[in-house]
Amino acid sequence: MAQPLPALQSRHAFPYWKWQANWRGLAADYSGRFPFPHIYLDQFLHEEMAHAMAREFPGPEADAWTHYQHPNENKLGMSHWESFPPLLKSTALELNSPGFVAWLSRLTGIRNLIADPALDGGGLHQASRGGFLNVHTDFTTHHYQKNWQRRVNLVLYLTPGWRAEWGGALEFWDADMRHCIVKYPCLFNRAVIFTTSQCSLHGFPQRLRCPEGVRRNSLALYYYTAEKTDLVPRFTNYRPRPSDKRSQAAIIWLDKQAVALYSRAKRRFGFSDGWVSRALRLFSRARLG
């Protein structure tokens, strides 16, 4: 269920003076990008704060991780505030604060955005060598707030020294899944912000080639608008690439049905994502190659 937000610490990680100065230019850049509105921002946070956050990012041995390991993804997720180290918590809270959300609304042109205190599907993410996330569109409604429509994703990368040749770039595809339009490398202190819709196909489907002990760390936050009535949910929709074989496409489709089944149960019964590892292993018969 939704968690109350802890108190926001006073120190700012986000340089408001920097990103507010040219918000009209940034907003025009955002709205004009193809294949869907988005922007890729360098040095998103104060550099020293970003480095401090990177130093305290939990390793894969931490107990609080949820293991998302099934044919459409191989990564870890942590969405409980009480498990976040101090600076990661305070920064996530700041990026959920009214001041930041107001800036985000101006950037995206989407009025009345609201932050998600439950971090439903968001929070800390981590992928090691061999990790991946198949191309997909996101679930469109909040699992616990049934009139909340998902509108914007923010992904901040927190691995210093990441090399482009290790992979992990976020790919944006066209609506027909024929072409990858653009790739954004997951370089340190870069942020990708994009509008979430049934056409916003994205992922990092190539398995990571980073050395053992190096991890693709990120903070993911999602923003919503509150609608007047409950919404008809659309669940995460994984899609095969043109290069995928028929057998791979079949596995992607079957696993997508398993994820949708779990999501329906989560929405109806209020499961937390602590169940996800066991549920996906139960529902999905396919295995990682």
| DSSP assignment string, 112-176 | T-EE-TT-TT-EEEEE-TT-EEEEEE--SB-SSSTTEEEEEEEEEE--TT--GGG--PEEEE-TT
Alpha carbon 215 to its chain's center:
16
Q: 287 lies in a domain?
A: no
Give residue 19's pLDDT band: very low, low, confident or very high (50, 70, 90). Answer: very high
Q: What pLDDT score was predicted for residue 229?
A: 85
pTM, entire model: 0.89
Place of tokens 């976040």: 84
Q: Rounded to an integer, what distance in angstroms lies between the CA atom of residue 118 and that of residue 79?
A: 7
Q: What pLDDT score was predicted for residue 7?
A: 40
Average pLDDT score over the chain? 89
Residue pLDDT, tens place only, 121-147 = 899 999 999 999 999 999 888 878 888
Q: 159 lies in a domain?
A: yes
Q: 236 lies in a domain?
A: yes
Total domains present in the chain: 1
Q: Rounded to an integer, what distance in angstroms lies between the CA atom of residue 142 and that of residue 122?
A: 11
Place of tokens 């053992």: 212
Domain harbouring 209, CATH code: 2.60.120.620
Q: 127 lies in a domain?
A: yes
Q: What pLDDT score was predicted for residue 236?
A: 93
Residue pLDDT, tens place only, 26-73 = 999 999 999 999 999 999 999 999 999 999 999 999 999 999 999 999
Q: Which residue has better confidence, 260 or 89?
A: 89
Residue pLDDT, tens place only, 144-201 = 888 899 999 999 999 999 999 999 999 999 999 999 999 999 999 999 999 999 999 9
Q: Is the pLDDT of residue 279 over 70?
A: no
* Across 247-263, average pLDDT: 90
Q: 1 lies in a domain?
A: no
Q: Rounded to an integer, what distance in angstroms lies between the CA atom of residue 38 and that of residue 172?
A: 10
Q: 133 lies in a domain?
A: yes
Q: What share of the chain is helix, strand, coil (3-state, %, to 5)?
A: 30, 25, 45
Q: Is the pLDDT of residue 4 over 50?
A: no
Q: What pLDDT score was predicted for residue 285?
A: 42
Q: 15 lies in a domain?
A: no
Domain assignment of residue 142, given as a range:
22-280
Q: What pLDDT score was predicted for residue 289?
A: 44
222 exposed, middle or buried (CB, 10 Å; 0-12, 13-18, 19+)?
Answer: buried
Q: 16 lies in a domain?
A: no
Q: What pLDDT score was predicted for residue 234?
A: 87
Give residue 12's pLDDT band: very low, low, confident or very high (50, 70, 90). Answer: confident
Give residue 10's pLDDT band: very low, low, confident or very high (50, 70, 90). Answer: very low
